[in-house]
Amino acid sequence: MLKANPEKIRALVTEIFVRKDVPAEDAAVIADALLDANLTGRASHGVLRVVAYVDRLEAGGGKAHPDIRVIRESDTTAVIDGDNGLGMVAAKKACMLAREKAEKSGISCVVVKNTNHYGAAAYWTEMMSQEDMITFSCCNVAPLVAPPGGKDVALGTNPLCVYVPSASHGPMCLDIATSTVAQGKLFDYQLRHHELGVGWAVDVNGIPTTDPDKARFLTPFGAHKGYGIACMIEVMSALLAGGGFGKELNDMYEDIDKPNNLSFCFIAVKIDRFRPVDEFKRDVDRFIDYLHSIPAAEGQRIFFPGEIEIINREKAKADGLLLPEDLVEQLTGIATRLGVENVEEYFRM
Amino acid sequence: MLKANPEKIRALVTEIFVRKDVPAEDAAVIADALLDANLTGRASHGVLRVVAYVDRLEAGGGKAHPDIRVIRESDTTAVIDGDNGLGMVAAKKACMLAREKAEKSGISCVVVKNTNHYGAAAYWTEMMSQEDMITFSCCNVAPLVAPPGGKDVALGTNPLCVYVPSASHGPMCLDIATSTVAQGKLFDYQLRHHELGVGWAVDVNGIPTTDPDKARFLTPFGAHKGYGIACMIEVMSALLAGGGFGKELNDMYEDIDKPNNLSFCFIAVKIDRFRPVDEFKRDVDRFIDYLHSIPAAEGQRIFFPGEIEIINREKAKADGLLLPEDLVEQLTGIATRLGVENVEEYFRM
Over residues B244-270, mean pLDDT:
94
Summarize pLDDT for A170-222 with one digit per residue, the tens: 899 999 999 999 888 888 898 889 999 989 999 999 999 999 999 999 999 99
Q: Please tell me the predicted confidence (pLDDT) of residue A58.
A: 96
How many angstroms away from the CA of B269 is the closest CA of chain A? 8
Give the closest of A147, A235, A291 to B164, CB-based. Answer: A235
Taking residues B211-225, report their average pLDDT: 96
What average pLDDT does range A160-164 have in this prediction? 98
Q: Which one of B146, B287, B294 has the shortest CB-CB distance to A239?
A: B287
pLDDT of residue B44: 86
Are the beta carbons of B150 and A236 separated by less than 8 Å? Answer: no
Q: For this complex, say whether ipTM is above 0.95.
A: yes
Cα B174 from chain centre: 11
CB-based contacts of B330, cutoff 8 Å, min separation 6: B48, B50, B51
Higher pLDDT, B85 or A349: B85
Q: By three-state DSSP, how is residue B55 classified?
A: helix
Could you tell me the pLDDT band of residue A138, with boundaries at 50, 70 and 90?
Answer: very high
Instruction: Say yes or no to pLDDT of B183 above 90.
Output: no
Closest residue on chain B to A179 (Cα): B222
Say if residues A283 and B192 touch (Cβ distance below 8 Å). Answer: no
State how far the Cα of A277 lies from the Cα of A103, in Å rounded to an integer: 13
Q: In terms of pLDDT, which residue wins out, A223 or B182?
A: A223
Query: Is pLDDT above 90 for B93?
Result: yes
- Higher-confidence position of A236 and A185: A236
- Tell me the average pLDDT of chain B: 96
Residues of chain A neighbouring B207 (CB-CB closer than 8 A): 297
Q: What pLDDT score does B188 carry?
A: 84
Instruction: Find how far residue A69's CA is from the centre of its chain.
Output: 22
Residues 6+ apart with CB under 8 A from B30: B13, B14, B17, B22, B53, B86, B88, B89
3-state helix, strand, coil in chain A (%, to 5): 45, 20, 35
pLDDT tens per residue, range A247-295: 999 988 888 999 999 999 999 999 999 999 999 999 999 999 999 999 9
Residue-level pLDDT at A204: 97
> Which 3 state secondary structure label does DSSP give A195?
coil
Q: What is the pLDDT of residues B17-51, one digit of tens each?
A: 999 999 999 999 999 999 999 999 998 899 999 99
Q: For A82-109, what is the mean pLDDT?
A: 98
- Which positions in chain B touch A151 (Cβ < 8 Å)? 295-297
* pLDDT at residue A316, rounded to an integer: 92
Tell whether the model's pLDDT for residue A128 goes beyond 90: yes
Q: Using an 8 Å CB-CB cutoff, list chain A residues near B247.
A: 290
Nearest CA in chain B to A281: B239
pLDDT for position B79: 98
Domains of chain B, earliest start first:
1-59+321-349 (1.10.1530.10), 66-179+220-306 (3.30.1370.60)
pLDDT at A255: 87
Rounded to the nearest integer, the mean pLDDT of chain A is 96
Q: Average of pLDDT values for A122-138?
A: 98
**Per-residue confidence (pLDDT) for residue B204, from 0 to 100:** 97
Residue B18 has a pLDDT of 98
